[in-house]
Chains A and B, each alone.
Chain A
Amino acid sequence: MTSVKTPVLEVTDLKKHFPVRKGVLGRVADNVHAVDGVTFSINEGETLGLVGESGCGKSTVGRTVLRLLKPTAGSIRLVGNDITTLGNRALRAHRRRMQIIFQDPFSSLDPRMSAGEIVGELLDVHGVITGSERKQRVAELFEHVGLRSDQLRNYPHEFSGGQRQRLGIARALSLNPELIICDEPVSALDVSIQAQVINLLMDLQQEYSLSYLFIAHDLAVVEHISDQVAVMYLGRIVEVADKRELFASPQHPYTESLLAAVPAPDPARERKKRLLKGDVPSPISRPSGCHFHTRCPYATERCRVEDPPLKEVAEGHRIGHRVACHLR
């Protein structure tokens, strides 16, 4: 356990900009800086929780890592292999090692395919197994995610939201991936079902030593499932730390206010209210200096001018707790 292992996923300075075109000739007038220099890594069997407000670029990070979107800059290494610029054909071999679970259990399943076809679909693509072996594998996957094998021939509309999400998980598991990108997998579910799905994901992680990139905006869910948590704001990671550390002593003012907004199920506890004012600035024309200075209660002159790098927090904190703030 002491040897230094290659992380399952290593993302370095990843950028994804979407051009904003104008005029008849489609001149690139500006860029949406959806992801703007994001660096993180995930070890085997670990979960990195990625949180932030809607529009901060967390889903774009997930899709770019999967290479559903072409990265603008930076690098993505999957178990040591650089997949940043691979072409379609070369990428195919690596696709088996990372899969995705989506937020919307309705649009993530083809309504014209039976549950069995959906789960077995990717097995055919990679020609891993065929015939009776394939049938057996699909039935096995159904069982793993808590569905009955007599539901194989049902169509997606005959399942509930939670069951549909289980189908999506079974599909993601079918190729034995090492990394699963969970793009808000429980946000669309009832709270009671959320717990079931989260527990299922954690059980599967144990069993197959899966790594998760868990994208969410629900801090309670992230606290439950993650090992590390990264907080994103306007396309950048502003703070990353071990889960306990981050929740116990948040360093970035943004993290602080996010945590303060979590409802505590304890009426006696006094809450420090530090509600943020205003909206997230536009990712097209971003504020100068620290992107957060427009909403930060502690902002100084320096924050308005100089962009703070993501750096290790000094003494009194665990190694790996990094924050992008001039004041720390």
Chain B
Amino acid sequence: MSSSVIEVTTPQPTPLGSHPVVEVLRKLFRIPPAVFGVVVITLTVFAALSAPWIVPIDPEEMDFDNLLSGISAEHWLGSDQMGRDTLARLIKGAQVALMVSLGAVGLGVLIGVPLGLVSVYFRGFVDDAIMRLMDSLAVFPSLLIAVGLAAAIGGSLTTVIVAIGLANVPWMARVIRSQGLMIRELDYVAAAEAGGMSHPRIIIKHILPNSVAPVIVQSTLSMGYAVLTEAALGFIGVGIQPPTPTWGNMLQQAFPMLDQQPLLSVVPGLAIFVLVLAFNFVGDAVRDVLDPRLKGVIH
């Protein structure tokens, strides 16, 4: 019998732990629709931020020589019935669209996520109370809240953000709660508890970072819906009031002119379509990357 020597080597781990966020971004950019979405959103953000420098014409300036013009040298995307430049108004509207989507989703996350976390951590009566409150809030569509708010205090940027934001709150709370329910039962939470860590600290250090992924997905998708809701509010006339141009009230004003100058409707309509699509593509891709088990399920 020959005795063989078995060489024992410890595998060398990678010298530096690759951060999970970097990993997620790397995977994200391998999905073509996500790349499209990111490019569109980046361009929109860029246009909105640099509006004062890249828009040569005041969006409220009226050019009575060129009413309802088509694509021309003076007005690249045409002008409306009062001779206002559509491109300038589109970019100004992009600012509003982004502010609304960011503000509304931000408000939803800021209120919904803490409520969801408290709900999932303390369970029992607290959970029941908070979630039933969320249910009763979810009953009202954001459009209805907005109409009510607009009727009460008048349509403005703040009204629109608050209305859409409030409608987002229950969804954010539910989404983080559903993930948190699983995390709450894991041993590392028990270890933190057994180690004497305080409740708020456990929630912030362990439960929040590990349940935040679906909130990111939900936020991205909600931004798309926020753009859509803002446009709908503008279209029915209870949103942000003219003269501030928004994509919604641009559509509303273009509607009677549909047979004379279709371009006037097509431009803001297309802008809404492309931006909402971009948010949805990114949201879908982020979900696929963060939760591979769901890949192909919700499509």
Contacts and interface: CB of A to CB of B under 8 A. Distances in A.
Interface of A: 63, 66, 68, 88, 91-93, 95-96, 98-100, 102-104, 107-112, 114, 121-122, 125-126, 150-151, 153-155, 158-159, 168, 171, 175
B16 interface: yes
Nearest to A111: B210
Contacts of A112: 20, 209-210
B13 A158 contact: yes
B194 A107 contact: no
Contacts of B14: 154, 158
Contacts of B20: 111-112, 155
29 contacts: A63-B190, A66-B194, A68-B194, A88-B199, A95-B195, A96-B196, A98-B194, A100-B191, A102-B187, A107-B187, A108-B188, A110-B188, A110-B205, A110-B209, A111-B210, A112-B20, A125-B196, A125-B197, A125-B201, A126-B196, A150-B15, A151-B13, A153-B17, A154-B14, A154-B17, A158-B13, A158-B14, A159-B13, A171-B195
A49 B137 CA distance: 52
Interface string B167-207: 00000000000000000001110111111111101000110
Contacts of A104: 187
Contact of B193 (A68, A110, A154): A68
Chain B interface size band reads: 20 to 34
Given A125-B196, A125-B201, 5 more contacts: A104-B187, A121-B197, A121-B205, A158-B13, A171-B195
Output the residue of B190, B196, B206 with the most chain A CB within 10 A. B196
A201 B78 CA distance: 78
Contacts of B205: 110, 121
B38 to A, nearest CB: 24
Interface of B: 13-17, 20, 186-188, 190-199, 201, 205-206, 209-210
A110 B196 CA distance: 16
A63 B205 CA distance: 22
A110 B206 contact: yes
Contacts, number: 73
A104 B198 CA distance: 24
B195 A121 contact: yes
Given A102-B187, A107-B186, A107-B188, A175 B195 contact: yes
B10 to A, nearest CB: 9
B195 A110 contact: no
Given A153-B16, A155-B17, A159-B13, A108 B187 contact: yes
Contacts of A111: 20, 210
A175 to B, nearest CB: 7
Closest 4 CB pairs of A and B: A95-B196, A108-B187, A122-B195, A102-B187
Contacts of B13: 151, 154, 158-159
B17 A102 contact: no
A159 B17 CA distance: 11
B203 to A, nearest CB: 13
B185 to A, nearest CB: 9
Output the residue of B188, B206, B209 with the most chain A CB within 10 A. B188
A143 B222 CA distance: 48
Nearest to A105: B187
A96 B197 CA distance: 11
A68 B196 CA distance: 10
Contacts of B199: 88
Output the residue of B15, B194, B206 with the most chain A CB within 10 A. B194
Nearest to B196: A95
A316 to B, nearest CB: 41
B187 A158 contact: no
A122 B206 contact: no
B131 to A, nearest CB: 15
Nearest to B15: A150
Contacts of B193: 68
Contacts of A107: 186-188
A98 B195 CA distance: 8
A100 B186 contact: no
Contacts of B187: 102-104, 107-108
